[in-house]
């Protein structure tokens, strides 16, 4: 969130070129979404953490388990918000490269390089997020093919909870 605000204050968004105005709109939209998603994520996980620590600290394990199960949809939305914050910040960073560099030939080169790097990073983040979101399932899953981080197809097997 701090990085988004610093990026926002570091740029001057006044330009006469149409393409710069369009990039400025995308930049401002991404920065706004990044800041709001970051604030939502921070507040949500701070509150969940405080309530969870309180329950565990007072030896109320059964209430902690009930709280943990009751807040599952909020934790999932917080995780998605966190990923959205990272993604929109990355896109805003690409836009800032375009807006900051004055010379056209360097502008295209550095913006393209930044965009490719950000696309590769976002691809890895989304692959990681898919793994995190599916790793918390409680119901037994049938065997299914997965692609691990090395690109090798593997089989995932899970035992039902009562056999663990």
Q: For 61-70, b where at least 16 C-beta lie within 10 A, e where not — what string?
A: eeebeebeee
- pLDDT classification of 52: cutoffs 50, 70, 90: confident
pLDDT at 41: 93
> pLDDT over 70 for what percent of the chain?
71
C-alpha span between 92 and 1 (Å, rounded)? 12
What pTM was computed for the model? Answer: 0.66
155, 143 contact by CB (below 8 A): yes
Say which residues have a Cβ less than 8 Å from residue 5's Cβ, sequence separation at least 6.
Answer: 31, 35
Residue corresponding to tokens 């807006």? 99
pLDDT at 162: 47
DSSP class of residue 164? -
Say which residues have a Cβ less than 8 Å from residue 77's Cβ, sequence separation at least 6.
Answer: 44
30, 63 contact by CB (below 8 A): no
Q: Mean of the pLDDT values across residues 24-31?
A: 89
Query: At residue 55, does pLDDT exceed 70?
Result: yes
Decide: helix, strand or coil at residue 142.
coil
Strand partners, 155: 145
Decide: helix, strand or coil at residue 147.
strand
Query: At residue 37, does pLDDT exceed 90?
Result: yes
pLDDT at 10: 64
> What does the block give as tokens for 57?
């600290």
Summarised one tens digit per residue, pLDDT across range 113-157 is 888 888 888 888 878 877 766 665 544 334 444 444 445 555 544
């Amino acid at each position: 969130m701090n990085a988004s605000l610093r990026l926002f204050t570091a740029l001057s968004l006044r330009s006469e070129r149409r393409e710069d105005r369009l990039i400025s709109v995308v930049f401002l939209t991404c920065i706004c979404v990044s800041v709001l998603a970051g604030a939502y994520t921070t507040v949500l996980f701070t509150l969940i953490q405080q309530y969870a620590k309180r329950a565990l600290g007072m030896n109320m394990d059964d209430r902690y388990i009930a709280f943990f199960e009751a807040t599952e949809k909020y934790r999932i939305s917080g995780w998605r918000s966190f990923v959205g914050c990272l993604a929109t910040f990355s896109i805003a960073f690409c836009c800032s490269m375009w807006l900051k560099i004055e010379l056209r030939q360097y502008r295209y080169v550095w913006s393209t390089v930044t965009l490719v790097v950000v696309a590769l990073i976002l691809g890895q983040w989304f692959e990681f997020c898919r793994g995190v979101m599916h790793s918390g399932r409680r119901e037994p899953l049938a065997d299914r093919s997965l692609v691990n981080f090395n690109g090798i197809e593997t089989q995932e097997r899970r035992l039902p909870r009562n056999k663990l």
